[in-house]
A = this chain, B = another copy of it.
């Protein structure tokens, strides 16, 4: 018996990711893969970001979840085009799922595609979706030790959003430890400190995203 190795699966994923990348490029769409633990605040951040970006840019969203459509409903309520992927058990999105979901979006009408991955700090890191940018959301309530425990996902990201800064005074989270960890894992990564519920730090992040998106499409 032969074994289908993880390498084969990742090779197939890379082919689909490259197709996605080509489609995004042809349509002039900048694509972001938003990662983080369950409950780190990805959807709330996305809602806050969309309030800043929708207008200057034409955004679309893909929501990844094991089951349910609560997140897609929240995005739809903002009037932003959204497709929900239910992975039916899989703990991460892969490029093939995104390829299928993209067929339900009008890419030509979009400038920016935000993909909210399944809440997971492990397997999501291994699957390129064809994005130009990876952003990790790390909430203050999770603890700063996540960089030590889940190094791969931080190593592959271009920005870390420290979310739920409103909860900081009630936790022992030390933002300096995030900066220390990133110096080793991803020295070029941008760091943002955000409280989405208080609308703090969101405008700065939105400006950075918009600048990256417009630099890409120039």
How many whole Å from A199's CB to the nearest CB in chain B?
16
Residues of B within 8 A of A139 (CB): 39, 141
Contact assessment for A142 and B4 in the assembled complex, using a CB-CB cutoff below 8 Å = no
**A126 nearest CB neighbor, chain B only:** B89
Select A66's contact among B142, B143, B149, B171, beta carbons within 8 Å.
B149
How many whole Å from A124's CB to the nearest CB in chain B?
9
Cα distance A67–B70 in the bound complex, in angstroms: 32
How many whole Å from A189's CB to the nearest CB in chain B?
18
Q: With contacts A38-B37, A38-B142, A39-B143 known, is A66 near B150, CB below 8 A?
A: yes
Select A37's contact among B39, B90, B91, beta carbons within 8 Å.
B39
Contact assessment for A121 and B38 in the assembled complex, using a CB-CB cutoff below 8 Å = yes
Contact assessment for A123 and B121 in the assembled complex, using a CB-CB cutoff below 8 Å = no
B-binding segment of A26-34, A46-54, A96-104, A162-170:
A162-170
Contact assessment for B3 and A146 in the assembled complex, using a CB-CB cutoff below 8 Å = no
Interface of A (DSSP majority class):
loop
Cα distance A193–B106 in the bound complex, in angstroms: 46
Contact assessment for A67 and B148 in the assembled complex, using a CB-CB cutoff below 8 Å = yes
For residue A118, CB closer than 8 A to chain B, the reply is: yes
Contact assessment for A149 and B1 in the assembled complex, using a CB-CB cutoff below 8 Å = no
Residues of B within 8 A of A141 (CB): 39, 139, 141-142, 164, 167
**Pairs A–B under 8 Å by Cβ, sample size 5:** A91-B123, A120-B122, A139-B141, A167-B167, A170-B170
A residues neighboring B (CB under 8 Å):
1-4, 37-40, 65-68, 70-71, 89-91, 118-123, 139, 141-143, 145-146, 148-152, 164, 166-167, 170-171
Q: Which 3 A-B pairs have the closest CB atoms?
A: A39-B142, A91-B122, A141-B141
